[in-house]
Amino acid sequence: MSGLRRYLGHAQWLAMAGALLLLSGCGINNIPSYKQQVDASWSQVLNEYQRRTDLIPNLVATVKGYAAHEASTLEAVTEARAKVTQTQIPANILTNPKAFQAFEQNQATLSGALSRLMVVTENYPNLKADQNFLALQAQLEGTENRIAVARRDYILAVQQYDTELATIPGRWYHSLFYGSYQPVQNFTISEQAQQAPTVHF
């Protein structure tokens, strides 16, 4: 009798292990995996925006050396940067539409101010020939490209994650195992509005 109990216990263990293997192969882990991808992509978006923010003081100082009377343009860039750096990003920003929209709008405002600054520099040939300005311009252009790539990767990660939460079998796994996982916000301001336009120097 004890041998039969042992055999049944062993058989149940094998059946449970087999069921777990089947579940792991049919997408039960997709939701947390896709969420990790969303979080990693979001971190990269923040990293690239921070890189841009860090370039701005040197850019403004360089332009000011040649075009000090463009005070309103320089001030707009400085104010937009200050707003971006002073805004606290809440931990729940990806599931908080209001906070996400505020973040997005602040970045768009900074993009617009930077694009106006770049247009102004067209009027100053000496500035356009300055090696420090040329280096900053190249870094800024590279950063804008990296921002575009990071945003695209984030958008794709969100699409995959949110689709998994909304479709079967992901919906079932969500309701059974991952109830705390919520759909996340995606960018709504156009890619063009977020980027500085291409300006020929």
- Residue range 165-176, pLDDT digits in tens: 999 999 999 999
Do the Cβ atoms of 165 and 171 come closer than 8 Å?
yes
Going 199 to 113 to 193 to 59, the CA torsion angle's sign is positive
Residues 194, 184, 108, CA angle at the centre, nearest 5°?
Answer: 15
For residue 52, give the CATH number of its domain: 1.20.1440.20
User: Going along 11-142, which residue ranges are E strands?
Assistant: none
Contact criterion met (CB below 8 Å) for 143 and 47: no
Domains held by the chain: number: 1
Looking at the domain assignment, is residue 12 inside a domain? no
pLDDT bucket at 194, cuts 50 / 70 / 90: very low
Give which of 63, 73, 32, 58 is closest to 164, Cα–Cα. 32
Residue 38 lies in a domain: yes
Whether residue 4 lies inside any domain: the answer is no
**What's this model's pTM, rounded to 2 decimal places?**
0.81
pLDDT of residue 173: 95
**Assigned domain for 14 exists:** no
Residue-range definition of the domain harbouring residue 170? 30-194
Using one digit for the tens of pLDDT, what is the confidence trace for 76-119? 999 999 999 999 999 999 999 999 999 999 999 999 999 999 99
The answer to the question of residue 17 being in a domain is no
Residue 6 lies in a domain: no
Query: Do the beta carbons of residue 150 and residue 45 sit within 8 Å?
Result: yes
Q: Give exposure, 169-199, as e/b (b: 16+ Cβ within 10 Å).
A: ebeebbeeebeebeebbbbeeeeeebbbeee
DSSP assignment letter at 122:
G
CB contact at 8 A, 108 and 189: yes
In a domain, 42, yes or no: yes
Q: How confident is the model at residue 188 (pLDDT cuts 50, 70, 90)?
A: confident
Q: Are residues 133 and 62 in contact, defined by beta-carbon separation less than 8 angstroms?
A: yes
Domain assignment present for 21: no
Alpha-carbon span 148 to 153, nearest angstrom: 9
More confident residue, 10 or 71: 71
